[in-house]
Amino acid sequence: MGGEPRLGDVFGSMIRDAYAVQTGIGTRPLAGGRLPRPVTEIIERDDGLINGAPSAHYFAGPEDWEPYDHRAVARVRGATLDVGVGAGRIALFLQERGTPVTGLDTSAGALAVCRRRGVRDLVHATVDAHVADGRRYDTFLLLGNNLGLIEGAERAPAFLAALAAMARPGAQVIAQGTDPYGTRDPVHTGYHERNRRQGRLGGQLRLRLRYRELGTDWFDYLVCSAEELATLVEGTSWRLVDVDDRDAPYYLAFLRLAG
Amino acid sequence: MGGEPRLGDVFGSMIRDAYAVQTGIGTRPLAGGRLPRPVTEIIERDDGLINGAPSAHYFAGPEDWEPYDHRAVARVRGATLDVGVGAGRIALFLQERGTPVTGLDTSAGALAVCRRRGVRDLVHATVDAHVADGRRYDTFLLLGNNLGLIEGAERAPAFLAALAAMARPGAQVIAQGTDPYGTRDPVHTGYHERNRRQGRLGGQLRLRLRYRELGTDWFDYLVCSAEELATLVEGTSWRLVDVDDRDAPYYLAFLRLAG
């Protein structure tokens, strides 16, 4: 009965509108043709769960970051690839600090906002495609829950191999994740159980993003425990050398290139 | 590929959670099992459009109301039926002012929140079902865009007849609407045109609400101009006696019982 969203750059459209609402630059989405409408990120899970959240956090300055973001950037060193640069909050901070940082994203709209905000080095690609560009890095950053980009047990080895192929000796990955298993909400525990029965990791979410008339295809996004991550890293070129879970259920995982 | 939401009291669940977030009373929805999650109202249109908005406005005190809400309540008199009472913001105000007010809603969850907030006279019914209760009113209030409840040209006569059946001599309807036709956004103008080709009013939206795992069935909600409303009122027991569009595209329509 309901129409399906149109495929498009969902994240980029949202970030562009959120930027317009924040700065007055560009066209703002209007309610009733007049009042600026708050820009909401909508995430749909394949069991019918849907959540909306304000998009302003993509533009948060360091004073509004979570504590673990500060502890993450404190350990960044050398040439840094910000994987899933979003609206550029982390890349801008590193750039101003003098850290050479490259922002990578698959969203052209998000990159356009990053450029407008002053991020100088931006690449429109997946990690896999970026390998061929011949760039090499000392730090790979996956903040804002972007550990999820490893998707699951099938995708993780290839994702981590792409990072390794771009890694200088001694390189590190700093990734922020969330342990999903502390909840007793049956909407979530039931989802985790169904996943496991299908041979997936409990928190291997099947999601799509929606924004106004646009939607993404369904994709996997992994929300896993640090223990599950340790298992996924086994047998790759990386070693899990540290987990900072002072802000549990959120954690920072630190990987180091082996050898 | 994506699962469908489960049918349930979408609006009530949202209002209950929003109330819990605001007051600390009741269970709050948690992100990652720990942090309170902002409560977002998600509205899906049948062409794939989706919008999310913060739910806090349902709890706004008079100091945060839109100007037309103040002008609406200034004209309320006598026994009043607040149609679609929501979280009770208008009913609470009228009750404190000494106006006898009854809050009507189809959402049991919303009524539970109203009761908790102190609204004394509440009815769980549609306007049609409430006719049989034998209550009679001087004012029918449809604020918060609730003019939309007249749905369209097919439903409007029966909806207005139900109000007339509960009306005392000289009764009035005060309804807040939004003129949807000021926009040049093709997502909206295209929708209006498709509607008209199907014999529907341009702004006769086919919507469903979603909240977490719950969704409503698809329903019609009318966003119309004051001119369209005038046509819909013709031939009913009501006369359109005044339109206040000082805050266009938002307006207040005032109907008076004929005869």
Q: Which CATH number fits domain B61-205+219-257: 3.40.50.1360, 3.40.50.620, 3.40.50.150, 3.40.50.1820?
A: 3.40.50.150
**What integer is the mean pLDDT of B75-102?**
98
CA distance, residue A213 to nearest chain B CA (Å) = 4
Confidence of residue B3 (pLDDT cuts 50, 70, 90): confident
Burial A158-191 (b: 16+ CB within 10 A, else e): ebbebbbebbeeebbbbbbbbbbbebeeebbeeb
**What integer is the mean pLDDT of B150-179?**
98
Share above pLDDT 90 across residues of chain A, in percent, rounded to a whole number: 89
State yes or no: pLDDT of B26 exceeds 80.
Answer: no
Confidence of residue B22 (pLDDT cuts 50, 70, 90): confident
pLDDT for position B36 = 67
Strands A35-36 and A30-31 turn out to be: antiparallel
> What residues of chain B lie within 8 A of the CB of A180, using their CB?
32-33
> What residues of chain A lie within 8 A of the CB of B42, using their CB?
42, 50, 52
Residues of A with CB under 8 A from a CB of B: 1-6, 30, 32-34, 37-38, 40-42, 44-54, 178-180, 182-183, 185, 187, 208, 210-213, 215, 218, 248-250
Which residues are CB-contacts of A99 (< 8 A; sequence separation ≥ 6)?
A76, A77, A78, A80
CA distance, residue B158 to nearest chain A CA (Å) = 25
**What integer is the mean pLDDT of A142-151?**
98
Span A126-141, pLDDT tens digits: 999 999 999 999 999 9
Span A85-116, pLDDT tens digits: 999 999 999 999 999 999 999 999 999 999 99
Yes or no, beta carbons of B249 and A210 under 8 Å apart: no
State yes or no: pLDDT of A1 exceeds 80.
Answer: no
pLDDT for position B24 = 82
pLDDT for position A36 = 67
C-alpha of A229 from chain center: 16
| Cis before B169 (ω within 30) | no
Half-sphere exposure of B232 (CA within 13 A, CB side): 28
**What integer is the mean pLDDT of A200-210?**
98
Cβ atoms of B116 and B19 within 8 Å: the answer is: yes
Confidence of residue A38 (pLDDT cuts 50, 70, 90): confident
Cβ atoms of B173 and B254 within 8 Å: the answer is: yes
State yes or no: pLDDT of A192 exceeds 70.
Answer: yes
- For A183, which residue in chain B has the nearest alpha carbon? B33
Residues of B with CB under 8 A from a CB of A: 1-6, 30, 32-34, 37-38, 40-42, 44-54, 178-180, 182-183, 185, 187, 208, 210-213, 215, 218, 248-250
Instruction: Give the domain ranges of chain B.
Output: 61-205+219-257
> What residues of chain B lie within 8 A of the CB of A50, using their CB?
5, 42, 210-212
With vertex at residue B104, the alpha carbon angle to CA B102 and CA B105, rounded to the nearest 5 degrees, is 155
In the structure encoding, which two tokens stand for residue A237, read together? 């070129």
**Which of these ranges, B132-141, B171-180, B181-190, B236-245, has the smallest mean pLDDT?**
B181-190
pLDDT for position B155 = 97
pLDDT for position A11 = 97
- For A179, which residue in chain B has the nearest alpha carbon? B32
CA-based nearest residue to B143, from B183, B112, B101: B101
CA distance, residue A210 to nearest chain B CA (Å) = 7
A:B CB pairs within 8 Å:
115
Q: Mapped to the 3 state alphabet, what secondary structure does B5-33 carry? A: CEECCHHHHHHHHHHHHHHCCCCCCEECC
Cβ atoms of B254 and B174 within 8 Å: the answer is: yes
Span A210-225, pLDDT tens digits: 999 999 999 999 999 9
State yes or no: pLDDT of B148 exceeds 80.
Answer: yes
DSSP secondary structure, A186-249, as one string: HHHHHHHHHHHHTTS-TTEEEEEEEEBTEEPPPEEEE---HHHHHHHHTTSSEEEEEEE-TTTT
CA distance, residue A14 to nearest chain B CA (Å) = 11
Beta strands in B111-186 (DSSP E): 122-124, 137-142, 167-178
Cβ atoms < 10 Å from Cβ of A248:
14
pLDDT for position A33 = 56
Strands B204-211 and B40-45 turn out to be: antiparallel
State yes or no: pLDDT of A22 exceeds 90.
Answer: no
CA-based nearest residue to A44, from A215, A249, A223: A215
- For B225, which residue in chain A has the nearest alpha carbon? A32
Q: Hey, of A17, A27, A40, which one would you mutate to test binding to chain B, going by the most B CBs within 10 A of its CB? A: A40
Yes or no, beta carbons of A1 and B218 under 8 Å apart: yes
C-alpha of B244 from chain center: 18
Strand partners, A55: none
State yes or no: pLDDT of B259 exceeds 70.
Answer: yes
State yes or no: pLDDT of B21 exceeds 90.
Answer: no
- In whole numbers, what is the pLDDT of chain A averaged over residues? 95
> What residues of chain A lie within 8 A of the CB of B33, using their CB?
180, 182-183, 185, 249
Span B206-239, pLDDT tens digits: 999 999 999 999 999 999 999 999 999 999 999 9
pLDDT for position A61 = 96
